[in-house]
Amino acid sequence: MNQRPYIILNPAARGEKARPMLDIIESLEPKPVVRLTTAPGDAEAMAERAVEQGFDTIIAAGGDGTVNEVINGLAGSSAKFGLLPVGTMNVFATELGLPNSVAGSWEVIKAGHVRQVDLAKANDQYFVQLAGIGLDAQIVMETEREFRKNFGPLSYLVTASQVVTREAPKLMVELPDGRELEGSFVLIGNGRYYGGKFVVFKEAKIDDGLLDVIIFGGVGHLDLVRYLQAFIFGDPATVPDVQVLQTPSLRVTSEEKVPVEVDGEVMGFVPVDICFSPTKLNVLAAPGAPIEGS
């Protein structure tokens, strides 16, 4: 077993602003092995190789996209997962309550306190935070990577203003108890947060073996305003065309070509089966500080 921390850094994270952090990361103690990604898919392949080489602690230095790739490389292994939140979007880091700095998060990693969290799966793609089917996945798919790098969350709003003008797809959500529900787009949370520090999945716990599901009926401008008001000022479950539920698994289908995103990255199209991996993810989190929602 190799005891040196193995860090996978995405230098393009936060619009290339993560690149200058390389010197800081390489100077950390105990001295880590540092590998830089150059293209999508690199982080997953590097994590897989690190597991094969016997590294005990494998760390994602980047945003949620890097996190997703690394956990896909670790899935099924006993390796510990650490996180240095240096990306544009750091939703999973927020969920874990990590400090918003390399130094602070490194102290958490060095402390070595492990929390076992649920590892969800959409078809063959693992995720730790959230999945979306329909509207938000369409927005992610149509927002160019370079645009995202330069403008961050604002880039999604620009794309959203175009996507919401189109006719919404019809999605069928099949639950293990035999129920079949219909909607226009679906959000699925393993944790509480979505799109930053917005608590969308109010009852979610990242280690309870349940997916928190929200099924929306509409996708127009007025629909989204209603939904947003409900999330900020009230209870989404009271909105007539919103269904909120918890389930260990679900299947979503459509007669149309509807995209699916996990942890902010498009992974394919429906049909999609979403469930939990039988193995948990060993996450380095602050000792004594429960994961949000636990």
Give 58-122 as a DSSP string. Answer: EEEEESHHHHHHHHHHHTTS--EEEEEE-SS--HHHHHHT--SSHHHHHHHHHHT-EEEE--EEE
CATH 3.40.50.10330 spans which residues of the chain?
A: 6-112
- Among 51, 45, 49, 37, which Cα is nearest to 8's? 37
* Cα distances (Å, whole numbers) of residue 185 to 60, 69, 157, 178: 30, 24, 17, 20
CA distance 61 to 9: 5
Topology (CATH) of 6-112: Rossmann fold (3.40.50)
Task: Confirm or reject CATH 2.60.200.40 for domain 125-276, answering yes or no.
Answer: yes
Specify whether the CB–CB gap between 186 and 173 falls below 8 A.
yes
From first to last of the 294 residues of the chain, give the pLDDT tens digit.
788 999 999 988 765 666 778 889 999 999 999 999 999 999 999 999 999 999 999 999 998 999 999 999 999 999 999 999 987 778 999 999 999 899 999 999 999 999 999 999 999 999 999 999 998 899 888 876 655 555 556 556 656 666 666 778 899 999 999 999 999 999 999 999 987 778 899 999 999 999 999 999 987 777 877 887 877 777 787 888 999 999 999 999 999 999 999 998 999 999 999 999 999 999 999 865 545 545
CATH 2.60.200.40 spans which residues of the chain?
A: 125-276
Neighbouring-strand partners of residue 125: 122
pLDDT at 17: 63
